[in-house]
């Protein structure tokens, strides 16, 4: 899937030059790389793509280098067959780590949302000396017994597969259930556009099935390892920005993050849903800008090496 296939109304919202890199699996990963300054790596969740961060990138690119990749199988990235890429939590962390090395990011800040939280914190665990400030939005990086039934249904091998990549039900439901305010038509179209492709809808299903519900799940040891490493990130400056009307990552997750990072700054927007940048971007994006901007002038160097042309 290429960026030149984006409808004009989506391109108007997402006016970025596309970059691509070959991953260790041979698949090509799409990402955007906008602005100059201290790098900020933004990791999305399921079933979104870098489109989720479009307004944050526009706000920060005057002072920061904003890098927002699409996970393999999502957005405008390739969707390699499962025999070539496992679509597991560990595999996504591997891909993110390879991106950091390819772009020569010696020091960078991190913004995570949804399943990007586990991927991002797994990345931070592997390279804690490179990660500076961390922005956490409606996500988890630790096991939880609270998995809503509507998520569990999508995990079912036959019906769940039919629902997610047959009917595109997971993406369609997300467009209605993740915000308090209805999304404008062009924004809905932007979120849904990559998932016209059945291969990417299969990835949506694989993401859901990779959520570990018990200790026997193959992703559980990876998630437990990330959870065990969180205390080693406790000295990092952290902002926990949260939408209070998220039916999946509800306020119990928000409270758990603050328990684990008691020195964190926090911003709770009661009338924002899971896609909090859509419901409350006017409040949350300036707060993220202030939080990341306060790092300017630190002793950490600013990297520009590794930038790739579209």
Active site residues: 114, 246, 274
Query: Where does the chain have alpha helices with state H?
Result: 8-13, 54-60, 89-102, 116-126, 149-155, 159-161, 169-177, 185-192, 198-209, 220-229, 251-260, 276-293
Rg for the chain, CA atoms, rounded: 18
Whose tokens are 């409350």? That residue is: 280
- The C-alpha atoms of residue 36 and residue 21 are separated, in whole angstroms, by 19
Distance CA 218, CA 222 (A): 8
Cβ atoms < 10 Å from Cβ of 288: 23
72 within 8 A of 27, measured Cβ to Cβ: yes
Q: How far apart are CA 120 and CA 112, in angstroms?
A: 6
Nearest residue to 123 via CA among 88, 99, 87: 99
C-beta separation of 158 from 255 below 8 A: no
Q: Which residues fall within 8 angstroms of residue 38, CB to CB, at 6 or more apart?
A: 64, 65, 107, 108, 109, 132, 292, 295, 296, 300, 302
User: What distance lies between CA 1 and its chain's CA centroid?
Assistant: 19
**Phi, psi for residue 227 in degrees, rounded to 5:** -60, -45
């Amino acid at each position: 899937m290429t960026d030149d296939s984006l409808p004009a109304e989506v391109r108007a919202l997402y006016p970025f030059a596309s970059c691509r890199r070959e991953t260790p699996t041979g698949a090509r990963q799409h990402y955007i790389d906008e602005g100059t300054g201290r790098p900020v790596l933004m990791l999305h969740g399921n079933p979104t793509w870098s489109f989720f961060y479009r307004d944050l990138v526009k706000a920060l690119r005057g002072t920061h280098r904003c890098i927002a990749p699409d996970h393999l199988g999502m957005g405008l990235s390739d969707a390699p067959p499962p025999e070539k890429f496992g679509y597991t939590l560990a595999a996504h962390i591997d891909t993110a780590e390879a991106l950091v090395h390819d772009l020569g990011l010696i020091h960078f800040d991190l913004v995570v949302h949804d399943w990007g939280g586990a991927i991002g914190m797994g990345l931070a665990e592997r390279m804690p000396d490179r990660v500076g400030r961390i922005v956490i939005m409606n996500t988890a990086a630790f096991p939880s017994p609270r998995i809503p039934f509507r998520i569990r249904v999508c995990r079912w091998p036959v019906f769940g597969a039919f629902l997610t990549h047959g009917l595109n039900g997971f993406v369609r439901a997300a467009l209605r259930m993740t915000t308090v305010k209805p999304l404008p038509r062009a924004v809905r179209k932007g979120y849904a556009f990559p998932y016209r492709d059945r291969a990417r809808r299969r990835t949506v299903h694989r993401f859901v099935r990779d959520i570990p519900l018990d200790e026997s799940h193959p992703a559980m040891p990876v998630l437990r390892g990330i959870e065990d490493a969180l205390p080693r990130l406790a000295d990092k400056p952290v902002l926990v920005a949260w939408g209070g009307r998220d039916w999946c990552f509800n306020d119990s997750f928000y409270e758990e993050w603050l328990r684990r990072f008691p020195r964190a700054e926090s911003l709770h927007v009661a009338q924002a849903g899971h896609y909090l940048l859509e419901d409350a971007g006017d409040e949350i994006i300036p707060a993220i800008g202030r939080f990341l901007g306060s790092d300017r002038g630190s002793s950490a160097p600013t990297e520009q090496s590794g930038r790739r042309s579209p």
